[in-house]
């Protein structure tokens, strides 16, 4: 995973040059069930985060309660647009208190055109006392007027796929969402059909 480390250092240098003039924001959220990439994490999960952004560069952190402690994420990267085409590259680290899970580190790539978007993450999982595992996550999404459909899954040392269908809207500056997750047994085990409701609020701290 030396490529991940090299790309991460490059992104750190690029983001550091933009942080001095960045816009500062915060967010709070709640989910009836917290699922990440089709995998159950916790019931009744609250979350919150902070972000800097400037001219496409971003740096931020986000945390959510899970079944045995907290998930704390750190991320940075760059995203931009050219006409109807959007693109992004970044790094994310997922860290946990307690024994819920071990550390993940990944490079994130994304692109979109109109209603269509694609996401790829190439990562490394520390795996407690076992051997380090490599994984690739991929997702294809179609979105229109707040409705979306997603097909996604894993390859390499991880396995499993899922479909996600959802809708989101903003009312009085509060975000509301609902999604149906349909996952195969390799990904999520017995909980292969789940309906999730979310509510959230973003704050401009400038």
Note every long-range contact of 64-67, with CB atoms under 8 Å and residues 24 or more positions apart, other chains counting. 64/34, 66/34, 66/41, 66/42, 66/96, 66/100, 66/101, 67/41, 67/42, 67/100
Tokens of 165: 């269908």
Rounded to whole angstroms, the Cα distance separating 70 from 101 reads: 10
Rounded to whole angstroms, the Cα distance separating 188 from 183 reads: 6
pLDDT category at 18 given cuts 50, 70, 90 is very low
DSSP calls for 141-167: EEEETTEEEEEEEEEET---EEEEEEE
Question: How big is the CA angle at 92 (ends 51 and 200), to the nearest 5 degrees?
Answer: 45
Q: Which of 21-25, 88-92, 124-128 has the lowest mean pLDDT?
A: 21-25
pLDDT at 128 over 50: yes
Query: pLDDT, tens digit, for every residue of 54-83?
Result: 999 999 999 999 988 999 999 999 999 998
The domain ranges of the chain are 2-204
Q: What is the mean pLDDT of residues 168-197?
A: 89
Please tell me the pTM assigned to this model. Answer: 0.88
Work out the percent of the chain whose per-residue pLDDT is above 90.
80
Tokens of 25: 């924001």
| Neighbouring-strand partners of residue 183 | 162
CB 111 within 8 A of CB 118: yes
Which CATH architecture fits 2-204?
Beta Barrel (2.40)
Rounded to 5 degrees, φ, ψ at 6 are -65, -45
pLDDT category at 8 given cuts 50, 70, 90 is low
Q: For the chain, what is the mean pLDDT?
A: 90
Work out the percent of the chain whose per-residue pLDDT is above 70.
87
Nearest to 65 by CA among 38, 91, 28, 13: 28
Q: What is the mean pLDDT of residues 32-48?
A: 94
Nearest to 160 by CA among 179, 175, 182: 182
pLDDT category at 21 given cuts 50, 70, 90 is low
**Residue 185: its pLDDT value, please?**
80
Q: What is the mean pLDDT of residues 20-40?
A: 90
**Residue 13: its pLDDT value, please?**
53
Query: pLDDT, tens digit, for every residue of 106-120?
Result: 999 999 999 999 999
């Amino acid at each position: 995973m030396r490529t991940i480390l090299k790309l991460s250092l490059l992104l750190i240098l690029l983001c550091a040059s933009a942080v001095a003039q960045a816009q500062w924001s915060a967010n709070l959220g709640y989910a009836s069930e917290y699922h990440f990439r089709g995998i159950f994490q916790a019931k009744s999960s609250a979350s919150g985060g902070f972000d800097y952004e400037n001219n496409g560069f971003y740096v931020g952190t986000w945390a959510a309660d899970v079944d045995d402690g907290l998930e704390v994420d750190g991320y940075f990267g760059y995203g931009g647009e050219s006409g109807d085409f959007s693109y992004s590259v970044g790094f994310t680290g997922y860290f946990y208190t307690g024994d819920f899970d071990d550390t993940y580190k990944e490079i994130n790539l994304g692109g979109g055109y109109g209603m269509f978007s694609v996401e790829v993450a190439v990562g490394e999982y520390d795996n407690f006392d076992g051997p380090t595992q490599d994984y690739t996550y991929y997702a294809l999404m179609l979105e229109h007027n707040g409705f979306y459909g997603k097909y996604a899954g894993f390859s390499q040392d991880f396995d499993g796929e899922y479909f996600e269908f959802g809708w989101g809207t903003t009312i009085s500056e509060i975000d509301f969402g609902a999604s149906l997750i349909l996952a195969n047994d390799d990904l999520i085990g017995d909980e292969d059909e789940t309906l999730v409701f979310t509510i959230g609020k973003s704050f401009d701290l400038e």
